[in-house]
């Protein structure tokens, strides 16, 4: 049976992310350091090929996509935009912990908690998961072998927690800038329970050398003995 690959890649660094600020819908550019790091990673490591490239419409994602795939036509999808942090936007966790009563409940991932004038965790998950499911269905219908999605850290963590095998909680899929995961989409497994297999880190090393991110490990806290795909197929 034919399988397909969907590659999730987080955008390169911004000045705000280096400062530890929550940046969601604000359209901030990549930092000079972020561009330089991504170009260096592209030179030293292997990024997946792409038959089609989807991206969040925010410039930090579209610019990342253009650096990695300069020949591709970038298709933007609004639903791939980062979380709407509302009044938490542009502030650090330390500041919010001190001044916002809702922050700790929101940080724990309570579904109906939302920042003032922001988006609830439940609404964000629904938006992102609906978009990813539509992409997966489209990939199979079109027969597209390699699909790249350049998006945000929160979007990738949400997709991985909802769809990826082996299963892991959202925070365990925390992804460094310029990195991501390759997912194998198998029609039978998808139809059985809307699941995809996480099979590889992005980028892949071109030659044996020290990784850019110490401790950047593929399967988070999960061993092969914990993973039995038959459990999901037979449910």
CATH of the domain at 189: 3.40.50.1240
Is 211 inside any structural domain?
Answer: yes
Report how many domains make up the chain.
1
Is 113 inside any structural domain?
Answer: no
The answer on pLDDT for 123 being more than 50 is yes
pTM: 0.86
Beta bridge partners, 52, equal 147
66 contacts 12 by C-beta, under 8 angstroms: no
Give the whole-angstrom CA distance, residue 83 versus residue 90: 12
Is 114 inside any structural domain?
Answer: no
Quick: pLDDT tens for 15-65. Answer: 998 899 999 999 999 999 999 999 999 999 999 999 999 999 999 999 999
Give, in degrees to the nearest 5, the angle at Cα 107 between 103 and 112: 85
Q: Which domain does 133 fall in, by range?
A: 4-82+124-233
User: Which helix or strand (DSSP H or E) is residue 74 part of?
Assistant: strand 74-76
Quick: pLDDT tens for 179-220. Answer: 999 999 999 999 999 999 999 999 987 644 444 444 444 444
Question: At a CB cut-off of 8 Å and minimum separation 6, what does 9 contact?
Answer: 47, 64, 68, 148, 149, 150, 151, 178, 179, 180, 202
Is 102 inside any structural domain?
Answer: no
């Amino acid at each position: 049976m034919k399988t397909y690959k969907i590659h999730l890649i987080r955008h390169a660094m911004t000045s705000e992310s280096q400062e530890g600020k929550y940046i969601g819908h604000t359209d901030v550019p990549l930092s000079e350091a972020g561009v330089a790091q991504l170009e260096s990673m592209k030179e030293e490591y292997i990024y997946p090929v792409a038959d089609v490239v989807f991206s969040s419409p925010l410039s930090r994602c579209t610019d990342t996509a253009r650096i990695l795939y300069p020949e591709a036509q970038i298709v933007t999808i609004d639903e791939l935009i980062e979380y709407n942090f509302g009044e938490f936007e542009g502030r650090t966790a330390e500041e919010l912990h001190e001044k916002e009563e809702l922050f700790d409940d929101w940080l724990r991932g309570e579904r109906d908690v939302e920042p003032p004038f922001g988006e609830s965790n439940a609404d964000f998950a629904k938006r992102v998961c609906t978009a990813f499911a539509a992409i997966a269905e489209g990939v199979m219908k079109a027969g597209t072998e390699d699909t790249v999605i350049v998006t945000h850290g929160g979007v990738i963590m949400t997709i991985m927690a909802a769809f990826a095998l082996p299963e892991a909680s959202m925070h365990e899929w925390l992804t460094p800038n310029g990195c991501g995961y390759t997912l194998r989409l198998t029609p039978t497994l998808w139809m059985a329970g809307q699941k995809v297999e996480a099979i590889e880190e992005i980028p892949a090393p071109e030659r044996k050398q020290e990784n850019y991110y110490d401790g950047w490990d593929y399967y988070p806290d999960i061993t092969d003995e914990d993973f039995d795909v038959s459990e999901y197929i037979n449910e």
